[in-house]
Amino acid sequence: MKTPLPLYHIIYHSLASGTGMTPAALTDLLRQARTYNQTHRLTGLLLYAADTQEFVQVLEGPQHEVQSLYAKIARDPRHKHVFVLHEGQEEARMFPDWRMGFAPAAAHDLHSVTGYLPLVSEPAHLRPPGLAVHAPAQLRRFLGDFARPLATDE
C-alpha cells in the first residue's frame, strides 16, 4: 500500500506584468492550469482583480509538485512582485474539487482578504507595500469564505 504524499499549499500574491490579462488570455491561462493541475494532482483557486491587475492564488497538493509549479510561476514574465503569503503542510485541501477554481475580484475584495488583517511577525522589507501577512488559519478561512460562492472550475 502506498503512503500518501504530504499535502502542501502555497498562497501567493502577484501583479500582472504589462497591461494585465485580457479575458482571452485569462481563459487560456485557466485552461492550461486546469490541465496541468489535473495531471499533477494539484487543486487550488485563482482570484484576479482586473482593476489593479492583482492575482491571489492557492496551490495545493504534493509538496514537490506545489513547489515546482510555484517556482515556474515566480519566473513567469506574466507576473511581477510575486510574494508568498503563506505556505506549509496541511491535513486537508481547501478546494478539493477544483483543478483551479477562478473568481474575478475587485481590488477591495483582495485587500479585504489579504491586506487588512492583524500582522504576524514578518520583516516589513520582505512584504510588498500595503500587503499584510496573516495567521494561516485566518487567511485560509477568508479565502475559502470569499471564493466558494463565486468561483467556478469550468
Q: Specify the residue for cell string 515546482.
A: 68
Q: Which pTM does this prediction carry? A: 0.76
Q: Is the separation of the CB atoms in 63 and 8 below 8 Å?
A: yes
Question: Residue 121 has what pLDDT?
Answer: 43
Residue-wise pLDDT for 32-79, tens only, equals 999 999 999 999 888 888 888 888 889 999 999 999 999 999 999 888
Q: Please name the amino acid found at residue 51.
A: D
User: Which residue spans within the chain are E strands per DSSP?
Assistant: 7-16, 43-49, 54-62, 79-89, 101-104
Residue-wise pLDDT for 78-135, tens only, equals 888 888 888 889 888 888 888 888 888 777 776 666 654 433 444 544 544 445 555 5
- Domain boundaries defined on the chain: 7-147
CA distance 16 to 50: 9
CATH of 7-147, one of 3.40.50.12280, 3.40.50.2300, 3.30.300.280, 3.30.70.100: 3.30.70.100
Question: Residue 72 has what pLDDT?
Answer: 94
The secondary structure of the chain in percent helix, strand, coil, rounded to multiples of 5, reads 35, 25, 40
Nearest-CA neighbor of 10 among 57, 42, 64, 47?
A: 57
